[in-house]
Amino acid sequence: MDRGLLAEKYEIQRKSLMEATNNIKEKIKKLEDECTELENEEKELHKKLEDSGCKRLNPQKREYSESEKIKKQLKKYCTQCGNPVNGAKYCSKCGKKVN
């Protein structure tokens, strides 16, 4: 192959890679700007919460309802054969999955 042709192909590929690299850099910059914007919005929202007198930012631990207590009790026994499972995912007697 002719050296001039190889040099021309090389230059075309180099330009293509440089263009692709620049496009990726632009996308990264846009994403970084969006992240900065979202972080600023988050800080503003936290400040508004504090200014409004809301000190609790973590959700409060909730108590179990009656239906949740019943579900927890049902998990102690296999629903297929009634064998005690004591929190296991599968029954040791019949092998069925415990819900």
Give the distance, in angstroms, between the CA of residue 52 and the centroid of all CA atoms in the same chain. Answer: 30
Beta-carbon count within 10 A of 79 CB? 13
Q: What is the mean pLDDT of the chain?
A: 81
- Residue 58 scores a pLDDT above 60: no
Q: What percent of the chain has pLDDT over 70?
A: 76
Q: What is the percent of the chain where pLDDT is above 90?
A: 38
Stretch 45-50: mean pLDDT: 86
What confidence tens digit (pLDDT) does each residue in 3-12 have? 889 999 999 9
pLDDT over threshold 70, residue 77: yes
pLDDT above 70 for 64: no
DSSP for the chain, written as a single string: --HHHHHHHHHHHHHHHHHHHHHHHHHHHHHHHHHHHHHHHHHHHHHHHHHTT----SPPPPPPPHHHHHHHHHTTB-TTT--B-TT-SB-TTT-PBP-
Q: Domain residues of the chain, as ranges?
A: 3-55, 66-99
pLDDT band at 39; cut points 50, 70, 90 = very high
